[in-house]
Amino acid sequence: MKTELINSVAGKGLKKNIPYFEVGDTVDVHYKIVEGDKERIQIFSGTVIAKRGSSISETFTVRRIVAGEGVERIFPLHSPGIVDIKATRSGRTRRAKLYYLRQRTGKAVKLSQKFSEHAAENVLQKH
């Protein structure tokens, strides 16, 4: 009874069309930023190092290097602040969590490329 009630309430907040991406993919996350009374969309581009949770509480962590420093951001998948997620490159991985990339710098951070359909569709749409 209790879980049915929770699922019905959480189901209303779920997004219908979530693009497919995996851990290891390089993604562009388009999210809304509100500054005063103005809104703008900013793009956070990086590698997905983790996905966790399910249903309304599902999140994913994106990591990128900015000016030699590693920056990680955790995004709720069903957040109304996320406008779009585009997978630009697919990386070959053998793990579900890529926390080992935190200790790496330079070219060692780069994952070998895996040619997959979900990343190729977005690359073709750009050109």
pLDDT digits (tens, 9 = 90+) for 10-46: 777 788 888 899 999 999 999 999 999 999 999 999 9
Give the chain's domain count.
1
Percentage, residues of the chain above pLDDT 90: 44
Tell me what pLDDT residue 69 has: 87
Sign of CA dihedral 74, 57, 123, 100: positive
Q: Considering only CA atoms, which of 112, 3, 127 is closest in space to residue 55?
A: 3
Tell me what pLDDT residue 122 has: 66
Confidence of residue 3 (pLDDT cuts 50, 70, 90): confident
126 has pLDDT over 70: no
Confidence of residue 106 (pLDDT cuts 50, 70, 90): confident
Q: Which two tokens stand for residue 34?
A: 């509100």
Any idea which residue has 């793009």 for tokens?
43
> The whole model's pTM is what?
0.82
Instruction: Give the other-Cβ count within 10 Å of 66's Cβ.
Output: 8
Choose between 120 and 98: higher pLDDT: 98
CATH number at residue 94: 2.30.30.790
- Secondary structure (3-state) at 97: coil
- What's the CA gap between 89 and 97, in Å, rounded? 17
68-86 pLDDT, tens per residue?
A: 888 999 999 999 899 999 9
Domain that holds residue 69: 2-126
Any idea which residue has 């962590």 for tokens?
61
Tell me what pLDDT residue 125 has: 64
